[in-house]
Amino acid sequence: MLFSPQTIALSIVDVADTTYKISTSESIEELLASINCIGLLSPPILKKNPRTYTIISGFKRIAACINLGWTTIEARVVDYKASDLQCARIAIADNSANRSLNFIEQSISLSMLLNYYDDKEVIREAKGLGLNINASLLEKLKKTAQLSSEIKKTILRGTISLTIALELGKMDKPSAMALSQLFESLNPTFNIQKEMLTMVKEIARIKDLSISQLLNDKYFLSIMENGEISRNQKVQKIRYYFKKMRNPVITQFEENFDCLMQRIDLPDEIKLIPPDNFEGTKYSIVFNFQNPKEFEFKKEALDKLMLHPEFIKIFEKEIADYKSLH
């Protein structure tokens, strides 16, 4: 492909045509300072049309020059006979040669090529253009390309992981957006995101509701809109709320167990640990000590625990009777 260096009037560059745009960054501040100081070192690449020019590579450079009040720009121009595939290949090669492409940019690049190649061919073609793609990564990139622009932005901001994003991509758009906004607002860890996602999917299925309907519940909204509690407190309240909706029996056991433990009032250093989900019969007691005297003190507390009536209730399954505890 031959490039013709030309001086082009910026007024006839079609900045609205983003057919070949790959970069996800919109910031031009650094470019503004650099171009204003030493000029445009790397001319953008344009495609000649009958009346306008299409940008193949250099969207931010052109935006910066327009912002600086330039009326013309030096550019490398390809002939209007250049095919869409040739222009896409140039855009990918030019972008990947100048920097490492992020995951979204790679998915954009692969989408361009998949219009012309099958999976095996596209892997080979991508490598020739500077992208190191294998079959496993290709599948993830193809799924990523299908995500909404809003969800792609949350990936770029690091708000949600790719795994969560791909799960959101399987949902109806209102539900995906509602969860995306929840994670964006509260910024929970990726593990908590995964936990919340699993719970809301199960609750929606059990209650025959969409996830967007579930997240529009009055109590849920009251937590989100409460300006008197911290973000972390909101996360914990919402996790508990989802947990209670998904399995009210186990949640009731937990509440009653906590109530009993408050009445028993064990020293902070002694922990009584119930079986997972209260489904087994084995409990554990954990305590730490630094010397024989401290051990003796903990032992006395455990001896008293054995005789405490509230402790006996736990094993007599009276813990299930909420009214008897509150």
pLDDT at 114 over 60: yes
Q: What is the helix (H) or strand (E) element at residue 40, kind and residue range?
A: none
243-267: average pLDDT: 75
Q: For the segment 274-320, what is each residue's pLDDT rounded down to a tens digit?
A: 777 666 678 888 888 888 888 888 888 888 888 788 787 776 655 55
Cα dihedral sign for 252, 257, 259, 260?
Answer: positive
* Residue-level length of the chain: 326
Domain coordinates in residue numbering, the chain: 1-99, 101-146, 149-246, 251-320
Between 280 and 53, name the one with better pLDDT.
53
pLDDT band at 251 (very low <50, low <70, confident <90, very high): low
Residue with tokens 């809003």: 150
CA distance 311 to 302: 11
Q: For the segment 55-95, what is each residue's pLDDT rounded down to a tens digit?
A: 999 999 999 999 999 999 999 999 888 999 999 999 999 99
Q: For the segment 96-106, what is each residue's pLDDT rounded down to a tens digit?
A: 998 899 999 99
Q: For the segment 138-179, what is each residue's pLDDT rounded down to a tens digit?
A: 999 999 999 988 899 999 988 898 899 999 999 998 999 999
Q: How many other β-carbons are positioned within 10 Å of the β-carbon of residue 181?
A: 15
DSSP 223-264: HHT-TTS-HHHHHHHHHHHHHHHH-HHHHHHHHHHHHHHHHH
- The pLDDT assigned to 272 comes to 82
Q: Are the C-beta atoms of residues 96 and 22 closer than 8 Å to each other?
A: no
pLDDT at 254 over 80: no
Q: How many other β-carbons are positioned within 10 Å of the β-carbon of residue 221?
A: 11
Long-range CB contacts (within 8 A, 24+) of 154-157: 154/180, 154/183, 154/184, 155/103, 155/104, 156/24, 156/102, 156/104, 157/184
105-124: average pLDDT: 94
Nearest to 140 by CA among 118, 110, 116: 110
Q: Is 280 helix (H, G, I), strand (E, B) or coil?
A: coil
pLDDT band at 1 (very low <50, low <70, confident <90, very high): low
- The pLDDT assigned to 244 comes to 79
Could you give phi then psi for residue 291, rounded to 5 degrees?
Answer: -155, 170
Question: Tokens standing for 153?
Answer: 């932005």
What average pLDDT does the structure give for the chain? Answer: 88
Q: For the segment 216-236, what is each residue's pLDDT rounded down to a tens digit?
A: 989 899 999 999 999 999 999
- What is the identity of the amino acid at 199? M
| CATH fold for domain 1-99 | 3.90.1530
DSSP 82-116: --HHHHHHHHHHHHHHHS---HHHHHHHHHHHHTT
Provide the whole-model pTM: 0.70
